[in-house]
Each structure stands twice: as C-alpha cells, then as structure tokens.
Amino acid sequence: MENKKKFYFDVKWLFIIAIVGFLLVFQVFPLVYLLIRAFFAEGSFSLDAFTRIYSTSMNWSCVLNTLITASLSMVFGVLIAFPLAFLVGRTNLYGRKLFRTLFLMTYMVPPYVGAMAWLRLLNPKVGTLNVFLESIFGLSEAPFDIYSIGGLVWVLTTFYYPYAFITLSRAMENMDPSLEEASRISGASPVKMLFTVTLPLMLPSIASSALLVFVAAASCYGIPSIIGAPAKIYTITTRIVDYVYVGSAEGLTDATVLAVFLMVLALVILFISNFVIGKRDYITISGKSVRPNTVDLGKWRIPLTILTGLFAVVVIVIPFASVFATSFTVNMGKSVFEEGNFTIKYWETIFSRNSIVKSAGNSLISSVWAASLGMIVCIIMAYLLKRTNVRGRSIPDFLITVGSGTPSVVIALSLIMTMSGRFGINIYNTIWIMVIAYMIKYMLMGMRSVVSALSRVSPSLEEAAQVSGAGWLRRLKDVVFPLIGPSVVAGWFLIFMPCFYELTMSNMLYSDKTKSLGVDLFLYQTYHSQQTAAALAGAILILVAVLNIVLSKLTKGKFSI
Amino acid sequence: MKKRIIAAFSALCIALAAAGCGKSDTAAQTGNPEVTGDTSVSGKVVIYTSMYEDIIDDMEKELEIQFPNLDIEFFQGGSGTIQSKIAAEMDSGMLGCDVLMVAEPSYSLELKEKGILEPYTFSGVDKLMFDYDPEGYWYPVRVCNMVLAYNPEKYSKDELPTSFKDFAENPEMKGYLSMSNPLTSGTAYSSVVGLYDKYGEEYFKSLNAQNVAIESGSVALTKLETGECKEIMVLEESVLKKRQEENSKLEVIYPDDGCIPIPSTIMIIDEEHSANKNVLAAKAVEKFFLSPEGQKLIVNGWMYSVRKDVSEYPYDAIPLVQLMENTIPVDWEKCYKQRDEIRTMFQNNVTIPG
Amino acid sequence: MSVITLDHVTKKFGDSVVVNDISDEFRDGEFITLLGPSGCGKTTMLRMIAGFEKPTSGEIRIDGKVVSSADTFVPPEKRELGMVFQSYAVWPHLNVFANVAYPLKIRKVPKAEIKEKVEKVLEAVHLSQYAKRMPSELSGGQQQRVALARALVAEPKVLLLDEPLSNLDAKLRERMRFEIKEIQARLGINVVYVTHDQGEAMTMSDRVFVINSGVLQQVGTPVEIYRKPENQFVADFVGKVNFLKGVSENGKIKLDGIDGTLDYSGEITGAVDVAVRPENIRISEENAHFRGKLLSEYFTGDTNDCRITAGGNELRMITDAATYKHFSDSETIGLYITDFIVFPASDSDFRKIMT
C-alpha cells in the first residue's frame, strides 16, 4: 500500500504518450519530411521553390479563389446550419427526426458524384432544372449558371453545411434552458432571445463548426475540379493536382510548396476559432440536471415546416433524385422516362462484379478501422485538451487540423515516401497505409465533435466518480463516454463516411489486396460510366441510411448521426 | 443500453464478416486453368498500367494461361496518378512494380534518363509502326488516338467542325467545346504538343476564344450526351467503349487535318529498383504483350495495335494502316525537354481566365 | 473514525496564494466546518483533502498515511472519501439508484449487497420511492439528497461537503442541516463541510475554521468563535457586530464621540476597536453607559431590530419584541452594554470583505 502510493503512476500518461507518439510517427514525420524535401530540393537549404511557386500570378489567383469560395461556403454553411439546427433541435417543428436525417444525407454521398448531379441540373445550356424553370416562367435564358464562383460556392455549401449542422445541433440540445428562460422573463421575444442569448452562447460551437466547413471546402478537390475547371476557376487543390500529375520529383516539390498554404490556412482558422472560443465555453451539462425544453413555434410552426421542407427538397431531394435517375438511364441525352431508356443494368453491375463486392468489403474494413482508431485518438486527445493542464496539450489538436487541411494527394505521396521501408517502417501496399491516410485526413471531424461535447460536460460529474473510487479509464467508461456518447458515435460516422468512399488517396495507395470502393468509383467516374458511379453512390447512400436507421432503432434514438 | 451497444456492434461485425465471405468466394472462383503456357517463369510481377480495368480483367485471364506459374498483379490508375506514385516511390528508393505500361514515350525518355529501366531486346522491331528505343529500354505497346467526337442525337455532323483547326476556329462552337487538361493528362499534353507544332501558339489563342472547357474526358462525354457540349476533343477508345458496351450513339470524327495517335509504352524496371526482382519474368511478359496474341488483347480494349502485321482493329474503328495515312505527328523529345515551356504556353493562353 | 492532518499546507495558483500555510488536525468523528467568504480558499482546501488539487507545499495525512506531499500523491479515487459537490454532480445519464450504487459498483460489492445498501441509504435521505427516476425528473432538493446518498453509500470514513445546501430554499436548507448532522452523528464519521453561511457553521460544527484570503483566522467551537473571536474579521464574519472606536486607559474605555465609558478589565490599552453584538445592547435608563437616538425599528416576531445613532456612530440593536413601538421615532434612549470584545485598533474596514 505504502509502495503503491509512493510510485503512483497515472495510467492516462501511457495512453497520451502512445497517441502522441503515433501522431508523430505517422502524421508529423511524413508531412515534415515532405516539407524538408521541398526546402532542401538541391541538397542544401533553398527557398527557390517557394519563390517560384508564390511568384506565379496564376497561383495567386488560385489562392484567392480558394479563400473566396471557402470563406463564402463557410459563411453560408453556418448561416444555413444555425437556423436548421435550432429548428430541428429546439423547436416543435413537424418531422424533426426526418429532417435531421435528411440534412446529413449530403455527407453520405461522394462530393464528385454530387457535383456531377448539380452539373446536370444547373448547367446553363441544358441543365434540367434550368430548362424546367425556363419553360415554367418563360425565361429567355437560364436562370442559373453553375460555372461560376456562385455555382462553386453553392455546391460546396450544400456539401459541407452538414458539418456545421451536426456540431451546432448537438450544442443546441445541450444548452441549459434556464439561460434562455431568463431572457424571456426579462421581456425578450423568442426571436430576441435567439439573437441575444442563444446565439452568443452558441458562439464557441459556431466558431468550431465554421472551422470545419472552411477547412473542408478549402481542401476539397472533387467539386472544384468538376464545377470550377470548366469555368476557369482554379483553386489551390486543383492546382496542386496539376503539379502532382506532372509525375516528376519537381512536380511533387511544387505541389508540396503550394500545399503549405492550405496547411497554414487551416492553422490560422483554428487559431481564430480558438481565439473566439477563448474562455467562453459556457454551455455545460452541469451536475444539476435540467429538463430539456422546446420552443413553441406557435403560428409559425406550419410556415417554418414548409420552408424547411422546401430547403430539403432543393438541397437534398432534387440532386439525389438526379443521382438515382442517372443510375437508371441508358442514354444521358434523354430523360430516364423515355421509352427504352430505363435500365437496371448498372445496378446489376455493381452487385454482380466481384471486384466491387470485394472493394466494398475492403473499404468497410479500412474505414471501420480508421474511424475506430481515429475516435480513440480523438477522445483521448480531446480529454487531454479539455481536462488537463499539460503543457502543449493543444499540439495534437493543431496536428489533426493541419492534417485535415492538407490536400489528400499530398498526404498520400508523403506516406509513400516515408512508409515504404526507407525509414524502417514498411506498411506500403497494406491496409494500414490507407487507414493512416484516412485518419490523417478525416480525424478533425471526430476531434471537433468530441472536443465540443467534452467542453459541455461539467468536470464535477467526473470528480464525483473519482471520489467514488473510479480510476481514469473507469471514469471515461462510466461517466465521460455515456455523456459524450452520441457525439462520439456522430464523430465516428463523420470519419467513417468520407473514408468509405475516399478516392484520391485510395487511388494512390491501394494494392491488389486492398482495393477500395473509392478506387472503383473513380474508375467508373473517369472511365466514362457516370451511370455506374451513380448506382454505386446510390447503393452507398442506401446502405448508410439503413445502417443509421438500424443504429437508431437499436439504441432507441440515442445514437444516430 | 449496454446491450444495445453490443447489438449494434454485433451488427457491424456481421457486416464485416459478410464482406470477408465475399472475398473468399472470389478466391474460390479463380479455378485452375489448363497448363499450356510458358512455365519457365514463376514468382510475382506487378504491372502499373493506365489501361481500362475491364481490359485488365480479360488480360489477367489470358496471362494466367500464358504464364501458369507466374503471379501477375495489376495496379490500375490514371497516368497522372501512376506517374506521381512512381515519383514518390523513387524518392523512397524502390518502386512497387516490375513492369510499367503507362504514358507516352516522353515519359519513357525521362525514366530512361533516371536510370531505373532494364533494356530488353525485342526481335520483332521491324513489325512496329511506331517509335521505339533503339537500346530496348522502351517499346510502344498500344495506341491511343486523339480525335473529335459528337452526339448525332443532338446535333448534325454537317453543322460541326471536322478538323482540329475548325474546332478551334468555328465561331458557332463557342461555349460548346471541351477537351482534357494537358496539365493532368499525358495524352492531352501530347496532343497539345502535336497541335502546337502544326499550328503554333495561335491555335491555343483561338481555343481560348472558343471558351473551351478544360475537364476530364468522362465529364466531357457526359456533356456530349446531354447536349451541353456540341463537340469534344477526346480519346477514341472512350467513345468506342461506350458504343460497344452501352449502345451509345456517340460518334467519332477522324479530323481532316489528321488524328493524333499517341503510342503508350511498356518498360521493365531494373533489378535494383523493382519490387519483385523478377526481371526474367518481366521480360517474358513484355515479350507476350508485344506479340500478335498480346496485341489482340490491346485491340479488344478499343486501342490500336502497334504492329503492322496485326490486322484486327478496335470495334467500330478503322484499320491501323488507314488511320496512319493522315496523322499529326508528336515530337517525343520535345514533349520531354520542353515540358515546362509548353505547359506554361498552354496555361497562359487557355487556362488562365481572361 | 479517522484523523486528517494538515501540515503546513500551502496552495498557490501562479503568484496568488490561495491557501497559506495551514496546519491542524481534524480528529476522529469531528464535524469540521471551513467557513469564510467566497474566494477565501476554503473550497481549494477541501479539494486538496479530496485530492483534486495538489498542495504547492506541505503535507496532508489521513489516518497517519501521507496522501499528499512533495513526493507522494494519492489520487482521489484511492482515498475512499465521500463528497457532495456544490452542483451536486448527479449523473444525468443514470437513474437515482444507479447514481447511488456507483461507488459500490466500483468497489465490486456483490449485487445483492448493493441493492440492500442503496435502499438503506435512499431511505435515510427519504428518496426510496424515487429510485427509478432520472435526475432530470427530480427537484433540486431531491438531487441534492441523491448526491448525499451517493457520498454516504460506501460508508466513507470522511465525508466532504462543498456548500451542499446553497442551492436549496431556506426551509429545506434548515431541515437538511439537521439531517446531515444527524447522519454524521449516527455514523460517527468525519465531516469536512465548506460553507460561507455562518448559520450552517454554528448549528452543525464541532469546530469551525474561519478562513480569510487563504489565511486561517481562528479555529474553535462555535461558541468560542462567536464569543471570543480572535480578531475583527472573525467577530464581523461570524454573527452580527457593531464596531466602535475608542481608547482604553486605566480600566476604562472611552468611546469616540460618545459621552460615557465602559468598564474594561482586559490588558489592551491605547486605541482600540470595540465590537458589540446587537443582542448585547439593552435599553436601560438607570444603568445606561450612554444614550442614543432611535432611528428605526423592525418587528421580526421574536425580536425588535433597531437602528440607533450615538455620537456619530450608527448601531444595530436587537432587543425584546415587547419594546417594539414603545418609543417614538427620534426619541433618545439610554443604552446598556452587557458584553463586548476589545481589539487593538485597526484601520481596515472589515465590512468590505463581507459577501
């Protein structure tokens, strides 16, 4: 007993050290190696590559485009997500559960598949929606042009607002209603309350959701390559791919140097969002339990439900219908309803082809690993960040953010260079290199989810368990995890989903035995079968929706995304 | 609640297990073919290629018959993907493959200079219709053909340009054209070099005035189908594949000013840099691909053979000899040496907005 | 049951000293109250005993075993204490039974025994019928009792309470005081109780530790700290008090601005502060030490709470209810001081630190 006290070693340090070590080896080292390579291209330190890249006016226009589109998507994404999260999370809107699921749907479709759907709907010449609107209102020209900054922002926003929606609606549901009640009692109308109390209280969550949307939009390749390129709107990511596909060592250096901008940008945004959050973490599950309350919309209930429904139709139902219609269309030049133009052969293809079934299995395994390992890292790092005073506890958070801001293609290349045996680790051509690539790229979503959940749990709840005799792991299991559980599950899905259909990195890292669904999707997308790609995306969507329903039913609505 | 979590997890495990079963099924299906081919080579050979996946499936079956003791594995990807993968692998000192069937001769020139290739003496060089390396470091193995394409269900051929020149100059076409990005696609880049040599920089100024969309071939084909584009510059194989597999009505136009046939090469990685140190087997595989039998597999994949003595030509296409009557040549040395200049030239004229 | 020893315990957060060199011993079965204004360091002291904070220097021992020192630290979960948090910290995801059973589950107590013990303790806190409820379905007082039951269920040797009654209404607060005291007496455990409410400290404690700005001001029984405060702060913080300035000389104290003297047999001479509790002022014409003018009176039922001015000092007097409305406003009345406390004069204004 005496000895035990004397040499007491906190078990949590083992975990923390292990995870920090993991991040150092598998994330920091590859990216730092790539940077060093860029600086030491000719054997000695040189800034040549930097001056070359950043003195090209073309590259600055890409930087500008990236900043504009990502910022606008962030602003619109949050502007859309906030009221939706409030309506769905805190009011007596009709069909809240249905809406909740619907609003997350876009997250379950690969961005390039969605981008193709929007392209078919809103291209200025024959876009289905444009043609429809023209004929209805007798317009002489198409009302929308997808090939514009506006079009790019629109598609990016519809794709990435779910990030903000998920973060905000969780925070919304955990808010202490008495804070709002105090506002009402002081004479504020519900709207006034929303702006004077709810909104300021939500500021930390808004900042963190804005970070997610910005980083995702800025480092997205699929959408700008499909929507932006024809309009000659190039972004940093499309530019990086230009450099990478040169296929030479210099090309890689140039790509790295340009990627640095995105990494720094992600950090700046993280810094700003942390600065905004600062000490203002006031939404907490206190030790005193309160009844969750809902705001009665009164006479606004029906109009607001209709408005929300309209949004869902425009942003979710129409493009998804377009994806599904495509998957049944023989000739894309004609309507799917035309005689002889309907087929189920693309669906047969995806279920009958061995390679697809096999890839789906591989993807499932690697993304389950990535999401599970990723969440373990996230939970422990979030705990470190929020519950300890360790010096440098925010470093992992920064690392995870940088990883997310790094373009996929750069991550994949850095892993090939460092993880194929030259430095003693050889996981090239195994499933693990993909799992690690996925984790680096997508852990941020899980991290933010857990951090915001954890900051809402009062430390006294945990102390109560500690004084009851529970050790660190036990407290995590009995108190922390159940309270942040829904956020952990949501975070898990947020990592799992993009990994499941991930394309760019998988395409570089797969081997015969680890071929993933994204590789297949990429093949069909690029090798001229939009329809098969659409069918595959549709199948993924259905699978995830079913999984979500099953999970929700099994846990009686407690866990779902 | 605990039970529910366990239940949820079990569901997941079952799904995973099911996925695992799928895998074992496929293993069972690859039965034992008759042993007829070259049994002298064994071990493993990995091939990086940018050929279509469906062709590879067919090839794998054929190769299994040809080399019953050899385990041949393909890594399939776009040429840009593969080239950058190789660049990263070279940085780490070793490649993940033994044979390359990717990109154009200009890339082969680059790899030869890097000193990672293994020469092979091919006895049938007199049968080859295209450039090859006299020292045997690379040989052409398949031909992709850059052409124009249109959709007869939407627009009549009479209204459309029938030459690359008119493609860039016909004002009727403004805003209705698309081509692949030479910054990311090797075949597009080669075509740009060919057109640059033939028409000079002016050609690209005209292209820019046409407001041509720069995007991937698959997106362009979809736009052709929907009518968003009237005409596109595209690889013939992608149109032929669609015609054969999907009964697509899209049609190829062999430009009056000549097609741009772009041979793609086959190379062997030397012992030091290769993944499986199986140069002997790699040479046997190369030999097979260059043989008439191997070339037939290429033709089945909607690409042209490189051999004069192979009379087969792709589905719905024209014979190779006929094709070669009217072409725009590409200077591979120039492609390789002046890459940066030509890329910049293209960017300045076409890519940069304005 | 248990002895807690504090040995020169100091806690600093950065440069600010929150607890300054406190040493004492909480004896077996004692009910100790840490009393002081908010921010005085009493909660930090409690959290150091619990193990949530490490002392910057000094040593804490429980039953002679070092739990916190320069080179030893026993984390809270190994100290086997019970604690009730100010916010209750009732887990919202567990029902009442599960909340209370938690410490036993951690200790791997057999199921049947858990059930028995939880039921017993729930009965003690009058929550038997709520065992299956979720915390959000309970009132504040009920949640507080869940927290108390959870702290007691494992029969800890020491029970730590951090302002547990501050969120309750007056009536409930009064009742809980006696219930806690009764439970403590019945179980014979040590209690360390943190409060800023001197009423709670008075009624429950065996000994009260009065703390201000991290410095221990006085330790004593409720009677001692009330009757014999060691300094002006204690006199002021514990109970109600009037301070009068004066000069002590030859067994007499001359009060500033007041025509009259007090007999004083103590040793302090020179300038002094005289503390007079309101209930120690009586109305008496015959024995009046001095006279004052009645400003206002408040009837509280059992007393008459008056404000009086005398020679520029405003005094509070609490006297018999029967005197209410006996005098007219502004009437000058004779005042007799039954008891008072003398301190050497100090310049500081003690009222400023009151909360």
What sections of A353-503 are H helices per DSSP?
354-387, 395-405, 408-418, 431-454, 459-467, 472-475, 481-500
Distance, in angstroms, between A7 CA and closest chain C CA? 8
Distance, in angstroms, between A9 CA and closest chain C CA? 10
Q: Which residue's entry shows tokens 């260059």? A: B290
Q: Do A8 and C75 touch (CB under 8 A)?
A: yes
The answer to the question of residue B181 being in a domain is: yes
**Cα-based distances in Å from B334 to B290, B293, B339:** 26, 33, 7
**Least confident span in A392-406, A472-486, B31-45, B250-264:** B31-45
Q: How far apart are CA A316 and CA A84, in angstroms?
A: 14
- Rg of chain B taking only CA atoms, in angstroms: 22
Q: How far is Cα of residue C340 from the mean position of the Cα atoms in its chain?
A: 22
Q: Note whether A172 and A90 are within 8 A (CB).
A: yes
Same domain, A42 and A140: no
Q: How far apart are CA B284 and CA B267, in angstroms?
A: 12
Per-residue pLDDT for C267 more than 90? Answer: no
Same domain, B191 and B254: yes
Question: Between B18, B74, B81, which is nearest A507 by CB?
Answer: B81
Q: Is A58 on the interface with B (CB under 8 A)?
A: yes
**Where is pLDDT greater, at A283 or A132?**
A132
Question: Between A286, A288, A467, which is nearest C82 by CB?
Answer: A467
Same domain, A201 and A278: yes
| Cβ neighbours of residue C340 closer than 8 Å, sequence gap 6 or more | C262, C274, C275, C276, C280
What tokens were used for A451? 């951090």
The β-bridge relationship of strands B138-150 and B99-101 is unpaired
pLDDT tens column, C213-242: 888 899 999 999 998 999 889 998 888 888
Q: How far is Cα of residue B217 from the mean position of the Cα atoms in its chain?
A: 12
The pLDDT of residue A3: 38
Find which of A528, A554, A556 to mutate to test the B interface (most B CBs within 10 Å of its CB).
Answer: A528
**Cα-based distances in Å from A280 to A379, B48, B313:** 21, 54, 71
The pLDDT of residue B14: 47
Per-residue pLDDT for A176 more than 90? Answer: no
Q: Which residue's entry shows tokens 């034992």? A: B32
Averaged pLDDT, A455-471? 84
Chain A contact partners (≥3 CB pairs within 8 A): B, C
CATH of residue A257's domain is 1.10.3720.10
Same domain, B151 and B188: yes
- Closest residue in C to A558 (Cα) is C93
Neighboring chain C residues of A8 at a CB cutoff of 8 Å: 72-75, 78
Same domain, A39 and A155: no
Neighboring chain B residues of A413 at a CB cutoff of 8 Å: 84-85, 87-88
**Where is pLDDT greater, at A14 or B189?**
B189
Averaged pLDDT, C43-52? 88
Question: Between A5, A460, A475, which is nearest C72 by CB?
Answer: A5
Same domain, A141 and A33: no
Neighboring chain A residues of C83 at a CB cutoff of 8 Å: 463-464, 467
pTM over 0.80: no
Q: Do domains C4-233 and C241-347 have the same CATH topology?
A: no
Neighboring chain B residues of A364 at a CB cutoff of 8 Å: 15-16, 19
- Closest residue in A to B182 (Cα) is A242
Same domain, B79 and B189: no
Neighboring chain C residues of A475 at a CB cutoff of 8 Å: 77
Same domain, A366 and A221: no
Q: Is A338 left (phi over 0), alpha (psi -120 to 50) or beta?
A: beta
Q: Is B42 on the interface with A (CB under 8 A)?
A: no
Confidence of residue A5 (pLDDT cuts 50, 70, 90): very low
Q: Note whether C214 and C17 are within 8 A (CB).
A: yes
Q: How far apart are CA A245 and CA B36, in angstroms?
A: 41
Per-residue pLDDT for B9 more than 60? Answer: no
Domain of residue B285, residue span: 36-143+262-318
Confidence of residue B2 (pLDDT cuts 50, 70, 90): very low
Same domain, A40 and A107: no
Distance, in angstroms, between A78 CA and closest chain C CA? 30
The answer to the question of residue A314 being in a domain is: no
Averaged pLDDT, A359-386? 89
The answer to the question of residue A116 being in a domain is: yes
Q: Do B213 and A229 touch (CB under 8 A)?
A: yes
**Least confident span in A65-69, A407-411, B208-212:** A407-411
What tokens were used for A202? 């939500």
Identify the CA nearest to C20 among candidates C37, C5, C40, C49: C40
pLDDT tens column, A326-358: 888 887 777 777 777 888 888 888 887 777 788
Same domain, A115 and A16: no
Q: Note whether A81 and A308 are within 8 A (CB).
A: no
The answer to the question of residue B191 being in a domain is: yes
Identify the CA nearest to B163 among candidates B177, B148, B146: B148
| Range with the largest mean pLDDT of A124-138, A471-485, A527-541, B272-286 | B272-286
Confidence of residue C130 (pLDDT cuts 50, 70, 90): very high
- Closest residue in B to A239 (Cα) is B183
Find which of B204, B219, B236 to mutate to test the A interface (most A CBs within 10 Å of its CB).
Answer: B219
Domain C4-233 is in which class?
alpha beta
Per-residue pLDDT for C44 more than 80? Answer: yes
Q: Is B83 on the interface with A (CB under 8 A)?
A: yes
Confidence of residue B1 (pLDDT cuts 50, 70, 90): very low
Same domain, B344 and B211: yes
Q: Is A508 on the interface with B (CB under 8 A)?
A: yes
Q: Do A251 and B84 touch (CB under 8 A)?
A: yes
Percent above pLDDT 70 for chain C: 97
The answer to the question of residue A461 being in a domain is: yes
Q: How far apart are CA A119 and CA A525, in angstroms?
A: 14
Q: Is B321 on the interface with A (CB under 8 A)?
A: no
Same domain, B41 and B120: yes
Q: How far apart are CA A502 and CA A514, in angstroms?
A: 13
Domain C241-347 is in which class?
mainly beta
Domain of residue A16, residue span: 1-46+344-561
Q: Is A453 on the interface with C (CB under 8 A)?
A: no
Neighboring chain C residues of A483 at a CB cutoff of 8 Å: 91-93
The answer to the question of residue B120 being in a domain is: yes
Residue C278 is classified by DSSP as: G
**Where is pLDDT greater, at B28 or B148?**
B148
The β-bridge relationship of strands C303-310 and C313-320 is antiparallel
The pLDDT of residue B215: 84
The pLDDT of residue A304: 92
Same domain, A11 and A87: no
Distance, in angstroms, between B88 CA and closest chain A CA? 5
User: What domain count does chain A have?
Assistant: 2
What tokens were used for A398? 């920064």
Q: Is A555 on the interface with B (CB under 8 A)?
A: yes
pLDDT tens column, A227-238: 888 888 889 888
Averaged pLDDT, B52-68? 85
Q: Note whether A536 and A363 are within 8 A (CB).
A: no
CATH of residue B194's domain is 3.40.190.10
Same domain, A17 and A55: no
Q: Note whether A289 and C90 are within 8 A (CB).
A: yes
User: What domain count does chain B have?
Assistant: 2
Domain final position from A286, A313, A328: A286
Same domain, B137 and B271: yes
Q: How far is Cα of residue A243 from the mean position of the Cα atoms in its chain?
A: 25
Domain boundaries, chain C: 4-233, 241-347
CA atoms A316, A318, A319, A323: torsion sign: positive
Per-residue pLDDT for B282 more than 60? Answer: yes
Element (H, E) at C150: helix C140-153
Distance, in angstroms, between A76 CA and closest chain B CA? 26
Q: How far apart are CA A79 and CA A325, in angstroms?
A: 30
Q: Is A461 on the interface with C (CB under 8 A)?
A: yes
Question: Between B79, B83, B226, which is nearest A332 by CB?
Answer: B226
Per-residue pLDDT for C127 more than 60? Answer: yes
Same domain, A109 and A39: no
Question: Between A1, A10, A288, which is nearest C87 by CB?
Answer: A288
Number of residues assigned to chain C: 355
Strand partners, C32: C192, C207
Q: Do C151 and A467 touch (CB under 8 A)?
A: yes
**Where is pLDDT greater, at B1 or B318?**
B318
Same domain, B219 and B155: yes
Domain final position from A237, A269, A286: A286
pLDDT tens column, A18-67: 888 888 898 889 888 888 888 776 667 777 778 878 877 788 889 999 99
Q: Which of residues 152-171 of B touch A (CB under 8 A)?
A: 153-154
**Least confident span in A490-499, B127-136, B319-328, C60-69:** A490-499
Interchain CB contacts (distance < 8 Å): A and C = 110
Identify the CA nearest to A513 among candidates A448, A435, A431, A453: A431
Confidence of residue C32 (pLDDT cuts 50, 70, 90): very high
Q: Do A508 and B85 touch (CB under 8 A)?
A: yes
The answer to the question of residue A334 being in a domain is: no
Average pLDDT, chain A: 81
Distance, in angstroms, between A277 CA and closest chain C CA? 23
**Cα-based distances in Å from B108 to B124, B139, B207:** 20, 9, 29
**Where is pLDDT greater, at C27 or A203?**
C27
Same domain, B269 and B311: yes
Confidence of residue A293 (pLDDT cuts 50, 70, 90): low
Per-residue pLDDT for A309 more than 90? Answer: yes
What tokens were used for A73? 């998507």
**Least confident span in B1-15, B130-144, B259-273, C170-184:** B1-15
Chain B contact partners (≥3 CB pairs within 8 A): A
Question: Between C92, C138, C147, which is nearest A285 by CB?
Answer: C92
Per-residue pLDDT for B33 more than 50? Answer: no
pLDDT tens column, A514-530: 888 888 887 777 665 77
Q: What share of chain A is helix, strand, coil (3-state, %, to 5)?
A: 75, 0, 25
Neighboring chain A residues of C87 at a CB cutoff of 8 Å: 286-288, 458, 460
Q: Which of residues 74-103 of A touch B (CB under 8 A)?
A: none
Chain C contact partners (≥3 CB pairs within 8 A): A
Averaged pLDDT, C2-7? 90
Q: State the first-to-last Cα distance of chain C, in angstroms, to the nearest integer.
A: 35
Domain final position from A264, A286, A308: A286
Same domain, B311 and B168: no
Confidence of residue B145 (pLDDT cuts 50, 70, 90): very high
**Least confident span in A284-298, B85-99, B241-255, C170-184:** A284-298
Average pLDDT, chain B: 85
Q: Do B183 and A246 touch (CB under 8 A)?
A: yes
Same domain, B342 and B231: yes
Same domain, A501 and A382: yes
Q: Do B218 and A527 touch (CB under 8 A)?
A: yes
**Cα-based distances in Å from C175 to C125, C145, C146, C158, C203:** 11, 12, 16, 22, 11
Neighboring chain C residues of A290 at a CB cutoff of 8 Å: 136
pLDDT tens column, C203-213: 889 999 999 98
Question: Between A289, A290, A467, which is nearest C81 by CB?
Answer: A467
Q: Is A551 on the interface with B (CB under 8 A)?
A: yes
Distance, in angstroms, between A209 CA and closest chain C CA? 26
CA atoms C112, C114, C117, C121: torsion sign: negative
Beta strands, E only, B77-120: 99-101, 117-118
Same domain, A120 and A215: yes
Identify the CA nearest to A387 among candidates A465, A311, A331, A315: A465
The answer to the question of residue A323 being in a domain is: no
Q: Is A233 on the interface with B (CB under 8 A)?
A: yes
